[in-house]
Amino acid sequence: MKKQNMNRDWIATARTLSQALPYLQRYTGAVVVIKLGGHAMGSDEAMEEFARDVVLMQMVGINPVVVHGGGPMINAMLDKLEIKSEFVNGKRVTDQATVEVVEMVLSGTVNKRIVQALNRQGGKAIGLSGKDANLMVCTQTNPDLGFVGTPTNMNPEVLHDLFSKGTIPVIAPLGAGENGETFNVNGDTAAGAIAASLNADRLLLLTDVAGVKDGAGDVITELKTQQIRDLTAEGVIAGGMIPKTETALNAIEGGVRAVVILDGRAPNACLLELFTEHGAGSLIRDAD
């Protein structure tokens, strides 16, 4: 009986691979930007699974880019160093001392952990931030918030160079100011700007919710951009989902073919979205 069950598993695996062929062909040469955050960053097991999926994506011809956050790690380091934060309308003020910690944590500990995870799975990953090669030049978002930046000028040539060498870029959301400042950039915002600069086929926003939900609490599997605007105006899209859907709208307006908000806690979420008919999460794209 055990052998029969194993045979069924092998047959199911072979069938799944066969059914994935059209999707594998469809994404050959495509750029897919993945915003990594939430659960996958806190668990070593989830990080290894994520890294394995990204390396697999590259092996079948996709050019993946990983953009990551690191809020909890930044908070922990600020507490350890006894650096107190001020808040304006619920948003942290990023002063000089804070932005130095942000850069240390994001470009150091967090970035290298992801790079090492990808390399352990057989990938060739390299870590950088938006400051490198002026990938992401920013202006100050709001003087009251200090060194928080909004991307205004993108220079993705360095990423194309890395693609040509079979390298996976792992990017910390830090930007360079025109006068040499370092700006902290919201991770979703950075991922959207990078995806737009690359005319990415997909921007995958991994989060800790299943996707965009309707008024009844059910996940909406596919939305047009106007639906996002309507649901936001109606108050159905609210709270922490608003920044993500705004990122999606800006990315699509900037040239990204489609954005998916999906649950990074789900096993193999990226592979399910890209290589199965069912997909995962909420797919957002412009009207055909």
Q: Give binding residues for substrate as ranges.
A: 70-71, 92, 184
Task: Please name the residues in contact with 113: beta carbons below 8 A apart, sequence gap of 6 or more.
Answer: 47
Instruction: Record the tokens describing residue 142, joined without a space.
Output: 């709001």
> Comparing C-alpha atoms, which of 65, 80, 68 is closest to residue 42?
68
Point out the annotated binding site.
70-71, 92, 184
288 alpha-carbon distance from chain centroid: 25
CA distances 53 to 4, 58, 71, 211, 234, Å, are 28, 9, 23, 20, 37
> CA–CA separation, 6 vs 15, rounded Å?
14
Distances (CA, A) of 206 to 6, 67, 82, 221, 276: 32, 10, 31, 15, 17
Q: In sequence order, what E strands does the chain have?
A: 31-36, 63-68, 87-88, 91-92, 125-129, 136-140, 149-154, 168-172, 174-177, 182-184, 202-207, 222-224, 258-263, 282-285
Sequence letter at residue 100:
E
The DSSP symbol for 109 reads I
